[in-house]
């Protein structure tokens, strides 16, 4: 369909105008003389798309229409691929001034339409025929067949000559009776006189020494045959005249291969029979000359330029390389990207008969390949070390340009600017292709980044959607490319050190840190979270320092014994997009403390209590016990006892206050009083209150599956009764499920000794043996004012 359009443009319109001629600027057109025809080429860009020709001679101005050009020996071709219109005129064309069949002068008007304004340019050219004419010359033009034969007809009388120009009524003469008889296959058709033949589109002419016959293709008197497998159109006319006692017969035959050409692996193949006329034998084909770039060259020279000439099975087969000089290509979008090639083949075959009389047969053929799939390609030229994607798009034909690229869906339209970080650089090659190099840095916002756990590297992904535009139609075509690169960016690794009071994590910032999230459990680490949990965070441009004090949220305690315990804290590094945990920094430190309490998530209270603190001497830690007197310490030394028991056992009480569940027990221990007055006194009983508090919301499993499993560790407290007052609390007492009644009485007593000033939130823990009891209380007050949950002293 496209081809029909291109070649259909040869149909030209005509508007007759008063002759007013301008000069065509040099360079916009060229006129050349060839072996038997004249060529004028004009740039369409100069003339505009609407353009036509007129032939001019002394008798008038003759518009060259499609029909007229075939009858009179003119050929107009539009070469859209070069942007030119070409006019070829046979030396024997109707309005050529012919001097002795040697010097031919052409006068043309070229009429162009500039924005509705007609402009006429007059062109003239004189050509000299340098070669001697062969006895018979046949031309198979794109639009007509022409035969000229050497005429032995002496032409003394004016009347006879007049008869040839019978279309001119003034010159009509009845003195002679030239008739023409056409032959079709074996059939002889009814003879007609020349003026009738002319009306039917057959033109006969008599020049100085030659008789010329011309006809368009597909006329009623021609026949289409197949000769040696090649379609051929043959026109065979016999001219005869009786003049006085002489009877003259001239046989005129033109036989033209109508082969349309076929495309085969890079070659356009065209065929013609190896004989001039299927009806006439005795001629041998001696030579094939091929027009390369407009000039005929002999077979060996043509073969050097890549043409292949083969004679077999009674035909000559010409193979034209797809990139032959004088060929044109065009890209096309139709389903996918395609291209086709157009060749203007000019071919000459020379035949001789046994008397060595020459016949030259010339072909002008415009051949087009079918739509051929066209491939552009992309290569991944990424060098990971450059941290930049480099994608090369190559083999882009010259009539295709890159008009936009879409990078992961972000569109950039030509002309491409360097400002946005990515660049597009165009490269041109001598083989009329060009390419584009696209560079996109890995850290460009358009690049998709994903951490790949199995590769232990950062995966950068770039999907490119190229918009290629075929010119001049501006038809878009999309080419996709996808590149991926792994860069050995690993998730950050924290340095962690133990301190006396906690763990210190340190992270040096790197340029890729925007790729991760740092979190504690499920919480994203932010300055707000740090403040809320009592972490001390310092974040500057160089590094992030996170100090996690002991007993703050997130710790896990193990190996609790009188000597101390281990505390473990974990920081998670997560993928920013998927929240997948990529790595973690886990640090376990050994801590020592003379007194502490740990409330585990699985419902265990573990206490190390210093029983010497209340009274400096005389206590017996090993003999201490809980509310349930059968619950004794797991371990003890001279001053301290270690208890570890399920929260709701050993006589613990449970209270619900303000959405918090508090498990409470007491440590009883005997104390001997040594006084000067009494040698020995009865041992008195002292006690410590121990508490674990859990937010009620975190204990949902307790109410669904009756299993203690807190979301977070509880907050523990050790309260010394010596500081308590008798003030009572507004509390609800919940009986522990497994506890027995004797505890209830003592619970009530225990409640009575709370001191409200530091009750609500503070964690009461003795971490440092050197710290004084009172200073701890001060710290706790401050913490409770800022509504903090656990506070460390």
Ligand X SMILES: *[C@@H]1O[C@H](CO)[C@@H](O)[C@H](O)[C@H]1NC(C)=O
Chain residues binding ligand X by CB under 6 A are 107, 124, 166, 172, 193, 195-196, 380, 382, 384, 394-395, 406, 417-418, 423, 425, 429, 431, 433, 465, 478, 480, 483-486, 518, 525-526, 539, 541, 544
Nearer to ligand X, 107 or 257 (CB): 107
Asked whether the bond before 415 is cis by omega within 30 degrees of 0, the reply is yes
In terms of Cα–Cα distance, which of 79, 75, 82 is closest to 6?
A: 79
Both tokens of residue 131?
Answer: 């070669």
Q: Least CB distance from residue 482 to ligand X, whole Å? A: 7
Q: How far is the CB of 305 from ligand X (least distance, A)?
A: 18
The least distance separating ligand X from the CB of residue 286, rounded to whole angstroms, comes to 37
626 Cβ contact list (under 8 Å, min separation 6): 632, 643, 645, 650, 651, 665, 666, 667, 668
Q: How far is the CB of 329 from ligand X (least distance, A)?
A: 11
Q: Find out whether 290 and 297 touch, Cβ atoms under 8 Å.
A: yes
Beta strand ranges found along 627-774 (DSSP E): 635-636, 640-646, 653-657, 660-671, 684-695, 715-720, 732-734
Judged by beta carbon, residue 13 or residue 427, the one nearer ligand X is 427
Looking at the Cβ atoms of 478 and 674, the one nearer to ligand X is: 478
What whole-number distance in Å separates Cα of residue 496 and Cα of residue 750? 42
Largest CA distance in the chain: 185
Nearest approach, Cβ of 478 to ligand X (angstroms)?
A: 4
Of 178 and 694, CB closest to ligand X: 178
Q: Which is nearer to ligand X, 326 or 394 (CB)?
A: 394
Closer residue to ligand X (CB): 50 or 463: 463
Q: How far is the CB of 380 from ligand X (least distance, A)?
A: 4
- List the beta strands (DSSP E) in 443-549: 448-452, 457-470, 475-487, 495-499, 502-508, 516-520, 523-524, 536-539, 543-549
Listing DSSP states for 174-222 in one string gives SS---EEEEEETTEEPPPEEHHHHHHTT-EEEE-SSEEEEEEETT-TT-
Closest approach, Cβ 91 to ligand X, in A, equals 17
Neighbours of 302 (CB within 10 A): 22
Residue among 541 and 730 whose Cβ is closer to ligand X? 541
> Which SS3 state, helix, strand or coil, does residue 111 take?
strand
Closer to ligand X by CB, 188 or 775: give it: 188
Using the CB atoms, write b or e for 586-608: b if 16+ within 10 Å.
Answer: ebebebebbbbbbbbbebbbbbb
**In the complex, least distance from residue 544 CB atom to ligand X, rounded to whole angstroms:** 5
Minimum Å gap between C-beta 423 and ligand X is 5
CB of 182 to ligand X, least distance (A): 15
The rounded distance, in Å, linking the Cα atoms of 620 and 617 is: 9
Nearer to ligand X, 540 or 682 (CB): 540
Distance CA(323)–CA(307), nearest Å, equals 10
Other CB atoms within 10 A of residue 566 CB: 15
How many degrees, rounded to 5, is the angle at CA 662 between CA 660 and CA 666?
Answer: 165
Q: For residue 364, list its beta bridge partners.
A: 346
Cβ proximity to ligand X, 459 vs 623, nearer residue: 459
Q: State the nearest-atom distance from the C-beta of 541 to ligand X, in Å.
A: 5
Tell me how far, at minimum, the Cβ of 285 lies from ligand X, in Å: 36
**d(Cα 494, Cα 573) in Å, to the nearest integer?**
10
Residue (355 or 454) nearer to ligand X, CB: 454
> For residue 779, which phi and psi values (nearest 5 degrees)?
-60, -40
Whole-angstrom Cα distance, residue 252 to residue 755? Answer: 134
Q: Decide if 405 contacts 396 (C-beta within 8 A).
A: no
Q: Which is nearer to ligand X, 434 or 655 (CB)?
A: 434
**Coil vs helix vs strand at 439:** strand
Q: Answer for the pair 771, 764: CB distance below 8 angstroms, yes or no.
A: no
**Measuring CA to CA, which residue among 361, 275, 267, 249 is closest to residue 309?**
267
Q: How many Å is the Cα radius of gyration of the chain?
A: 54
């Amino acid at each position: 369909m496209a081809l029909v359009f291109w070649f259909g443009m040869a149909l030209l319109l005509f508007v007759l105008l008063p002759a007013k001629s301008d000069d065509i600027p040099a360079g916009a057109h060229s006129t050349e003389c060839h072996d038997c025809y004249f060529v004028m080429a004009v740039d369409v860009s100069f003339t505009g798309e609407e353009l036509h020709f007129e032939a001019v001679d002394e008798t008038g101005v003759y518009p060259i229409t499609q029909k007229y050009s075939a009858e009179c020996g003119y050929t107009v071709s539009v070469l859209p691929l070069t942007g030119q219109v070409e006019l070829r005129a046979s030396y024997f064309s109707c309005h050529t001034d012919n001097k002795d069949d040697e010097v031919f002068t052409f006068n043309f008007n070229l009429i162009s339409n500039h924005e509705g304004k007609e402009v006429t340019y007059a062109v003239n050219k004189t050509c000299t025929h340098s070669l001697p004419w062969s006895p018979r010359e046949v031309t198979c033009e794109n639009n007509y067949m022409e035969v000229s034969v050497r005429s032995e007809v002496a032409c003394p009388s004016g009347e006879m000559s007049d008869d040839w120009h019978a279309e001119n009524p003034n010159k009509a003469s009845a003195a002679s009776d030239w008739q023409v008889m056409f032959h079709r296959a074996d059939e002889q058709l009814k003879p007609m006189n020349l003026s009738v033949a002319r009306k039917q589109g057959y033109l006969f002419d008599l020049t100085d020494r030659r008789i010329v016959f011309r006809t368009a293709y597909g006329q009623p008197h021609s026949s289409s045959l197949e000769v040696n497998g090649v379609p051929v159109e043959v026109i065979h006319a016999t001219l005869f005249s009786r003049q006085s006692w002489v009877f003259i017969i001239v046989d005129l035959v033109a036989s033209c291969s109508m082969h349309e050409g076929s495309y085969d692996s890079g070659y356009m193949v065209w065929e013609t029979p190896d004989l001039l006329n299927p009806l006439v034998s005795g001629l041998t084909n001696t030579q094939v000359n091929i027009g390369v770039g407009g000039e005929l060259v002999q077979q060996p020279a043509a073969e050097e330029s890549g043409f292949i000439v083969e004679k077999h099975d009674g035909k000559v087969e010409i193979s034209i390389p797809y990139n032959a000089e004088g060929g044109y290509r065009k890209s096309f979008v139709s389903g996918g990207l395609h291209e086709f090639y157009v060749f203007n083949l000019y071919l000459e075959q020379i035949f001789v008969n046994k008397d060595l009389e020459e016949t030259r047969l010339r072909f002008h053929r415009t051949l087009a390949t079918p739509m051929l799939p066209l491939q552009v390609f992309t290569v991944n030229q990424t060098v990971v070390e450059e941290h930049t994607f480099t994608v090369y798009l190559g083999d882009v034909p010259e009539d295709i340009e890159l008009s936009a690229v879409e990078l992961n869906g972000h569109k950039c339209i030509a002309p491409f600017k360097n400002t946005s970080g990515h660049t597009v650089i165009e490269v041109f090659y001598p083989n009329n292709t060009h390419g584009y190099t696209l560079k996109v840095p890995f850290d460009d916002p358009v690049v998709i980044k994903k951490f790949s756990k199995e590769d232990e590297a950062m995966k950068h992904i770039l999907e490119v959607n190229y918009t290629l535009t075929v010119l001049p139609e501006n038809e878009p075509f999309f080419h996709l490319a996808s590149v991926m690169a792994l860069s050995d960016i690993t998730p950050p690794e924290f340095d962690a050190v133990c301190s006396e009071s906690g763990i210190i994590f340190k992270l040096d910032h790197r340029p890729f840190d925007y790729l991760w999230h740092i979190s504690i459990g499920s919480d994203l680490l932010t300055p707000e979270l740090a403040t809320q949990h009592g972490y001390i965070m310092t974040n500057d441009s160089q590094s992030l320092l996170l100090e996690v004090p002991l007993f703050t949220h997130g710790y896990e305690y193990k190996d609790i014994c009188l000597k101390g315990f281990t505390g473990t804290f974990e920081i998670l590094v997560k993928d920013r997009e998927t929240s997948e945990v990529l790595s973690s920094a886990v640090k376990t430190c050994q801590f020592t403390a003379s007194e502490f309490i740990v409330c585990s998530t699985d419902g265990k209270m573990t206490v190390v209590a210093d029983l010497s603190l209340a009274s400096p001497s005389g206590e017996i830690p090993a003999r201490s016990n809980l509310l349930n007197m059968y619950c004794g310490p797991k371990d003890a030394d001279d001053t301290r006892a270690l208890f570890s028991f399920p929260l709701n056992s050993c006589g613990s009480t449970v209270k619900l206050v303000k959405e918090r569940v508090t498990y409470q027990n007491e440590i009883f221990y005997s104390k001997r009083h040594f006084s000067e007055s009494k040698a020995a006194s009865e041992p008195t009983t002292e006690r410590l209150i121990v508490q674990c508090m859990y937010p009620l919301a975190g204990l949902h499993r307790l109410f669904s599956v009756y299993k203690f499993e807190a979301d977070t560790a509880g907050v523990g407290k050790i309260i010394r009764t010596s500081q308590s007052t008798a003030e009572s609390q507004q509390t609800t007492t919940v009986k522990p499920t497994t506890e027995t009644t004797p505890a209830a009485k003592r619970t009530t007593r225990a409640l009575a000794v709370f001191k409200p000033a530091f009750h609500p939130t503070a964690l009461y823990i003795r971490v440092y043996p050197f710290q004084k009891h009172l200073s701890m209380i001060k710290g706790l007050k401050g913490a409770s004012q800022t509504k903090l949950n656990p506070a460390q002293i």
